[in-house]
Amino acid sequence: MCYTYDALPPIKPIAGAAIDKEDLTLQARDGTRFAAFSAKPENGRRTGMVVLPDVRGLYPFYEELTMRFAEQGIDSVAIDYFGRTAGAAKRDDSFEFMEHVGQTRAATIATDTAAAVAYLRSPQGGACESIFTVGFCFGGANSWMQAAAGHGLTGAIGFYGRPGPGRDGSPGPAQRAGDFACPVLALMGGADASIPPEAVAELKAALTTGKVQHEVIVYPNAPHSFFDRAYEQFASESADAWQRTLAFVRKYEKAPVRTTA
């Protein structure tokens, strides 16, 4: 598990920022309805962000993060993974998420992401012309994997995602890097016991071999899930990771988009 249910992003809200927020129910092309949360700036820049949570699915940390992106002028939507097994209702800290994580599949996560991308491209979602994904832990790997899913993404950002095969046995980012059709940003903890240095090296090598534009940033003393307001000792790493995320978006948001590698 990445964060506790009451965790918050280590980003201060922008006082006076004009944004709209709402709970959504999106529908994937296979008919599945799933929970989502949208935050829209008053004056967006036609750039969108799909937020892919950790194993808990959609909960307050990611709703807050979606609002922080909106304060930067980025239309954003965070999605839940468990519409097929747990329904589309909001859930509290008592939700037994791990039994549902084991039932997720790479293909259906891509299908749900496609619905979020379509929402951001719609007038209701901001008529976005460039779209990124960002994810954390389970969502970090899933975010990178969307670069190979044909969404026409502008970039894929992952915090401490695992480079290896997915929980369903499907090939992971290191195996699919050659199919990535957009730039990748990876933000990793050097003291992350669950993702050793050799796994990070494997990801970097795969991105290089696949000729994927990429940045892999390792914070030497930071653990897994360091991007958390409760981890005051990693405030500088978190601030740097947030600024690198925003800089990555600014760098690529006007770049031409490919749909295949």
Specify the pLDDT at position 17.
Answer: 83
Specify the pLDDT at position 260.
Answer: 60
Specify the pLDDT at position 47.
Answer: 98
Specify the pLDDT at position 256.
Answer: 73
Could you tell me the mean pLDDT of each successive run of 10 residues in the chain, 261 residues long?
84 88 97 98 94 96 97 97 94 92 95 98 96 98 98 98 90 97 98 96 98 98 94 96 98 80 56
Specify the pLDDT at position 158.
Answer: 98
The residues near 5 (Cβ < 8 Å, ≥ 6 apart) are: 56, 59, 60, 92, 93
Q: Where are the domains of the chain?
A: 19-252
Position 7, amino acid: A
Within 28-67, strands assigned E span 33-41, 47-52
Specify the pLDDT at position 50.
Answer: 98
Token output for 114? 């496609």
For residue 202, give Cα distances in angstroms to 19, 24, 207, 251. Answer: 40, 37, 9, 25
Residue 116: phi, psi to the nearest 5? -65, -40
In angstroms, rounded to a whole number, what is the distance separating the alpha carbons of residues 144 and 158?
A: 6
Specify the pLDDT at position 213.
Answer: 97
CA 178 from centroid of its chain's CA atoms = 20
In angstroms, rounded to a whole number, what is the distance separating the alpha carbons of residues 234 and 100?
A: 31
**CATH assignment, 19-252:** 3.40.50.1820
Specify the pLDDT at position 224.
Answer: 95
Specify the pLDDT at position 4.
Answer: 85
Specify the pLDDT at position 1.
Answer: 53
